[in-house]
Amino acid sequence: MSRRHAAFLALIAGLLLAPRQGQGQSAQGVLAAAIRSYQNLDLDDAAGLLTRALTFQGPEALSRPNRSKALMYLAATELLRDHRDSALTVSRRLVAYEPRYRPSDLDFPPRTIALYDSARRATPAVFAAAPADTELRDGEMLVVRLFGSTYHQIQAALLRESGTALRILYAGPITDSLDLRWDGRDSSGVSVLNGDYRIAVESRDAGGRLVRSLRLPLAISRMIADTLPSPQPLASAAFLPERRPVGPALGAFAPALAAGAAVLLLPNVVAGSESNGSSKGRLVVGATATLAGIYALFRRHPGDAIPENVARNQVMRVGWRAAADSVARANIARRRDVRLRVRAGEPVVQGPEAP
């Protein structure tokens, strides 16, 4: 192998083994390396690394605090590199991205902080923080906290996803922060329908010019509590008979009737053709048996009400009715207890320095 071939192979191997940008090193790692370079005053490397850290997208992207920190270090780096305009631009990006951000004077020199403060004062911007998932009952409010970069005029409005304005929620000045309250209704006082909405906060400069807009997406849905099942109707088997049944009375009457009939028939059955001239006295027995049966029949009071059973059944009916009424009342309350579920998305800033 010639020396030229060996050098080519070494170059290929070096390219293959060299770490690729954005691979094998996280955005967080790149940011840490950039901060080390900044502290070592290796400003070109720091600027390059910070720019690279800010390019990570998606799940690998820097978190919001780290992205703010990266922007602040980039502004400081550019200022140290005597790129004041660039430092100012980065500072404005940071203000627009995170109006709440305040640099630490332990990490940054006063000159850098002063530059950032001047950029903040000159950059009207708003950040909105809303609970990710809220359930609003009637009379409750969704609270969206707005943070302003500096004193300026804003207007917050509820819009449909299509952009149609439904209600002006606030119009006026903001300093550090203010709470925006929304009761789930539009300007006419009607609860909004299910769907996608947004709260748009427009920041205006001293001249009243729209300089920046923040959109906070809201997904709205109604939550209705499940109703309770009504108690099962009482089965007829659960009730005791309220009237004395006829069956047992007839069951008592039947043997007596059979005895009476037997008295009449026995001479024929037993004596056959010799039954003529049978004793008439037997009719007394038959009549007595039949009368005893009639007495037994009415002794059992067929069809008469059974007061204790009527009372017990009434207690069961009243109990069931009370349970059913209780469930009905609970269900009315549940149907009235309509909650508005508001899920807030990530706020998006639209403006000249939108990150």
Q: By CB under 8 A, name the binding residues for other proteins.
A: 252-253, 255-256, 258-259, 262-263, 266-267, 269-272, 274, 277-279, 281-282, 284-286, 288-289, 292-293, 295-296, 299
User: What three-state secondary structure class fits 29?
Assistant: helix
- 3-state helix, strand, coil split of the chain in percent (to 5) is 45, 20, 30
Residue whose CB is less far from other proteins, 148 or 260: 260
State the alpha helices, DSSP H only, in the chain.
Answer: 3-17, 27-39, 43-55, 64-80, 84-97, 110-121, 246-266, 282-299, 307-336
At 219 the three-state DSSP class reads strand
CB of 322 to other proteins, least distance (A): 40
- Shortest distance, CB of residue 286 to other proteins, whole angstroms? 7
Measured from the CB atom, the residue of 180 and 297 that comes closer to other proteins is 297
CA dihedral over 11, 16, 22, 26, signed as positive or negative: negative
The residues pairing with 340 across neighbouring beta strands, listed in sequence order, are 136, 222
Q: SS3 for 44?
A: helix
Question: Could you tell me the smallest distance in angstroms from the CB atom of residue 247 to other proteins?
Answer: 14
Longest dimension (CA), the chain: 154
- Distance between first and last Cα of the chain: 53
CB of 245 to other proteins, least distance (A): 16
| Residue number with CB closer to other proteins (177 or 290) | 290
If DSSP codes are grouped into helix, strand and coil, which group holds residue 146? Answer: strand
Least distance from C-beta 302 to other proteins, angstroms?
A: 13
* Smallest gap from residue 231 Cβ to other proteins (A): 40
Work out how close the CB of 248 gets to other proteins at its nearest, in angstroms, rounded to a whole number. Answer: 10
Give the nearer residue to other proteins in terms of CB position, either 8 or 298. 298
* Sequence-ordered list of residues with C-beta below 8 angstroms from that of 282, at least 6 positions apart, any chain: 263, 264, 266, 267
Distances (CA, A) of 33 to 43, 78, 87: 12, 17, 20
Tokens 């590199």 correspond to 81
For residues 185 and 282, which CB has a smaller minimum distance to other proteins in the complex? 282
Structure tokens at 33: 């390396």
Least distance from other proteins to the Cβ atom of residue 258, Å: 7
Give whichever of 162 and 273 is closer to other proteins, judged by the CB atom: 273
Q: How near is the Cβ of 260 to other proteins at its closest, in Å?
A: 8
CA distance 27 to 67: 10
Q: What's the CA gap between 269 and 284, in Å, rounded?
A: 19
Question: Please, what is the Cα angle at 295 between 292 and 297, to 5 degrees?
Answer: 110
Q: Return the structure tokens found at 234.
A: 């009482």
Q: What single-letter amino acid sits at 128?
A: A
**Between 164 and 273, CB nearer to other proteins:** 273
Q: Which is nearer to other proteins, 13 or 271 (CB)?
A: 271
262 vs 327, which CB is nearer to other proteins? 262
